[in-house]
Structure 1
Amino acid sequence: MNIESREIINNWTLYTLTNDHNMSVSLLDFGGIITNISVPNRNKKVENVVLGYKNISDYVDNPNYLGAIVGRVAGRIQNASFILDGKTHTLETNEGVHHIHGGSVGFHQVIWTAHPFQTAETVGVRLTHTSPDGEGGYPGNLEVSVTYTLTNKNELILDYSATTDKSTALSLTNHSYFNLSGDLAETIHNHHVTIDSDEFIELDKDLIPTGKKIHVANTPFDLRSGRYLADGISSTSNQNLIANHGYDHYFIFNQKGQKNVEVKEETSGRIMSIKSNQPGLVMYTANTLNEGIELAEGYSKPYLGVCFETQASPASLHHEGFPTVVLNADEIYEKQTVFSFSSEA
């Protein structure tokens, strides 16, 4: 196990975590951004499986949130406002009339305080930050930490913790775009994805939840037994078309098994499993990813990566019956998501 750090630009530091099995993870203290995850394929060839800019300075403007911590609330908040404890809180409108991913002062734009650590079987970095009451329109002084831990089992563990002195809205996630083909060899059409979910949340034309849950049976959203992402990308289902030909939807986990998600890429043999105590996730197939951005292994285009944003649902701020994003002053926010990597012969 090993950890290296080096200063890059703008007083940012890049940390690289390496385990004993040729897996490594690189991340910035700026935005908590994961810039690289390198894992072996079935032939032991080590390649990067996430999208990252070739030039680190390009993360200054990161409109696609590549690899970043997203908060205070991941996802879209309808009409950039919500009512909590009888008071209306108005947020920045940064996607039409709506609010997305914490706004321009969101956690993806913060230089976090980094605390590297190492044990016999793990290596990692704990990031901490204080968000003041009223920042971005959100109530409450928020103390938050996000810990990245790499294990010798080829697990990347993300632990989120937070406390607030006022009731607030909080749902943190990581916005990495995964591509298990390695070094962006292929698009994600042939990624085979299994999600333990019976229901997803319907979206309107602005990609705002309508308040309706839809059962996945007999739809391209039935990933309970696994299916290729190409099914949803090429689907003529209204919900896939609304999302710009693909997925950008919240799936509610059944929480019955040992894992919530499994992703396989047959050419490389790589497998990624995801387990989280979050109530669900947004799966986004990069349907509107900007073209021509210079990445570490080539240029960006739609469907070059897939995000698995484990989180609660911002729909809960406007509709009953959804996983809540409310954190009260007497509560501790504690969430964990584990990404496990392996390969098949």
Structure 2
Amino acid sequence: MSTPSSAPSGASVTRQPYGRTADGQDVELFILTNASGMRVDVITYGATIVRLFTPDRDGRSADVVLGYDTLAGYEAGSCFFGATIGRFGNRIAGGRFTLNGETYELPINQVVEGRPCQLHGGPEGFHRQIWKATPRTGDGVAAVEMKHFSPDGHMGYPGNVSVTVIYRLLADNTLEVEFAGETDAPTPLNLTQHTYFNLGGPAAKPIVDHMVQIAAARYLAVDAGLIPEGPPAPVAATPFDFTAPHAVGERINEPGDQLARGEGYDHCWALDGVGGEMHPCAVAHDPASGRRLEVTTTEPGVQFYTGNHLPPEGEPGKSGVRYLPRTGFCLETQRFPDSPNRPDFPDTVALPGKPWRSRTRFKFTADE
């Protein structure tokens, strides 16, 4: 049974069961819609975006995010489709860091070229947790607020942490994602949203023809383990220069160690804007459908990932579709990878009495 709530403006939130996890926990689905007919579906497992419908240039609405048809798919999957990531998005080299003179060992869940790391908060990170949710409507906004408590020591991190993510679907077809975190002890915190987009629709084609522009004159080159190997480097005269729009596939197969290591783009760009203030991040456009995605954020970096590591045989997805490499892209707004081991990078340590905050907006439009 579904429970809708709505405002006179046409914004609504519908709440309904989504299933039960293998260990018996109930999961709920929240369907956010606005007066324009845009729709975003979010589940409490991993605070995950499972569907996002937005119109093309002809007004035809389609789901533009990768995912699974069932809860079991999200439980079994390892691609982080649509998930909220934490405590620490991206990689921490060696699965360890030192904070205030104490070294913390983290569970390893990725090894690249023989080099271990912890990826996206570990094997039981926030993407594997059940979040508590409350629907919200008002002022033309459909929203759901989700909360999670992470105890001291979970996945190796110090401190008890309470985190909140609010998904807001605005009247102008903008999805706003707001994160907040509070802790009782210093701890690294780097929350991000890991949706894979394909603006052409249900991953019908690779995203190599999508045009992308990133508001960044610098990016982080990586070593063989995909860990940043130095300070931000200029993108000028490299395949990483997206200061003007380029097709994803235009230079993705050019020779060079950086593209080879990521098997394409899997790097963090250091955005030109000031961290903590809302600033431009990226624009993606699908010429075939006319759909356009504009991203703005308070974060200093964005991980642009082109789905290179999806299985060669395809990841089983929605409606029998198999997601091949490069059939989706991510724009993960965040602090820099491996920051707990890099004092020269923007600080990621959350402190008691000082709430951690982040905000990103994904605005969807279409060509006239």
Name the TM-score, length of structure 1 as normaliser: 0.97
Give the alignment partner of residue 247 of structure 1, picking from 262, 265, 272. 265
How far does residue 238 in structure 1 lie from its aligned partner after superposition? 1.7
- Contact preservation (8 Å) 1:92, 1:99: yes
Gaps (5+ residues) in structure 2?
Answer: 1-10, 21-25
User: 1:156 — aligned with what?
Assistant: 175
Supply the distance in 1 between the matched residues of 2:172 and 2:279 (Cα, whole angstroms): 16
Give a deviation string over 1:81-107, Cα, whole Å, max 9, x none. 000011101100111221111112200
Aligned pairs for 1:188-199 (under 5 A) are 188-199=207-218
Other structure's SS at 2:250 match:
helix
Other structure's SS at 1:205 match:
coil
Other structure's SS at 1:117 match:
strand
Give a deviation string over 1:118-145, Cα, whole Å, max 9, x none. 1131011100011111111100110110
User: 1:2 — aligned with what?
Assistant: 12
Supply the distance in 1 between the matched residues of 2:71 and 2:60 (Cα, whole angstroms): 25
User: 2:23 — aligned with what?
Assistant: none
Give the alignment partner of residue 127 of structure 2, picking from 92, 103, 108. 108
Other structure's SS at 1:12 match:
strand
Supply the distance in 1 between the matched residues of 2:293 and 2:191 (Cα, whole angstroms): 21
Gaps (5+ residues) in structure 1?
Answer: none
Supply the distance in 2 between the matched residues of 1:243 and 1:276 (Cα, whole angstroms): 24
Supply the distance in 2 between the matched residues of 1:336 and 1:238 (Cα, whole angstroms): 33
Give the alignment partner of residue 84 of structure 1, picking from 78, 99, 114. 99
User: 1:184 — aligned with what?
Assistant: 203
Supply the distance in 2 between the matched residues of 1:239 and 1:232 (Cα, whole angstroms): 12
Letter in 1 for 2:131: W
User: 2:3 — aligned with what?
Assistant: none
Supply the distance in 1 between the matched residues of 2:214 and 2:143 (Cα, whole angstroms): 28
Aligned pairs for 1:1-345 (under 5 A) are 1-10=11-20, 11-96=26-111, 97-244=116-263, 246-255=264-273, 259-290=280-311, 291-297=313-319, 298-345=321-368
Supply the distance in 1 between the matched residues of 2:192 and 2:174 (Cα, whole angstroms): 17
How far does residue 180 in structure 1 lie from its aligned partner after superposition? 0.4
Mark the CA change 1:163 to 1:243 in structure 2 (over 3 Å): closer, same or farther.
Answer: same
Mark the CA change 1:173 to 1:258 in structure 2 (over 3 Å): closer, same or farther.
Answer: closer
How far does residue 49 in structure 1 lie from its aligned partner after superposition? 0.7
- Contact preservation (8 Å) 2:19, 2:27: yes
Give a deviation string over 1:39-65, Cα, whole Å, max 9, x none. 000000000110011233211122000
Supply the distance in 2 between the matched residues of 1:269 and 1:258 (Cα, whole angstroms): 24
Aligned residues: 344
Which shifted more, 15-24 or 286-295?
A: 286-295
Supply the distance in 2 between the matched residues of 1:327 and 1:231 (Cα, whole angstroms): 39
Supply the distance in 1 between the matched residues of 2:139 and 2:222 (Cα, whole angstroms): 46
Other structure's SS at 2:220 match:
strand
Supply the distance in 2 between the matched residues of 1:76 and 1:228 (Cα, whole angstroms): 27
- Contact preservation (8 Å) 1:54, 1:294: no
How far does residue 210 in structure 1 lie from its aligned partner after superposition? 1.1
Other structure's SS at 1:210 match:
coil
Other structure's SS at 1:58 match:
helix
How far does residue 27 in structure 1 lie from its aligned partner after superposition? 0.8
Supply the distance in 2 between the matched residues of 1:126 and 1:248 (Cα, whole angstroms): 30
Letter in 2 for 1:249: H
Other structure's SS at 2:232 match:
strand
How far does residue 207 in structure 1 lie from its aligned partner after superposition? 0.7
Supply the distance in 1 between the matched residues of 2:154 and 2:348 (Cα, whole angstroms): 17
Other structure's SS at 1:59 match:
helix
Supply the distance in 2 between the matched residues of 1:282 and 1:165 (Cα, whole angstroms): 29
How far does residue 258 in structure 1 lie from its aligned partner after superposition? 5.1
Give a deviation string over 1:175-199, Cα, whole Å, max 9, x none. 1000001122221101111101011
Identity within the alignment, %: 33
Root-mean-square deviation (Å): 1.3
- Contact preservation (8 Å) 2:88, 2:121: yes
How far does residue 220 in structure 1 lie from its aligned partner after superposition? 0.7
Mark the CA change 1:168 to 1:232 in structure 2 (over 3 Å): closer, same or farther.
Answer: farther
Supply the distance in 2 between the matched residues of 1:293 and 1:316 (Cα, whole angstroms): 31
Task: State the 4+ residue runs in structure 1 displaced beyond 4 angstroms.
Answer: none
How far does residue 323 in structure 1 lie from its aligned partner after superposition? 1.9
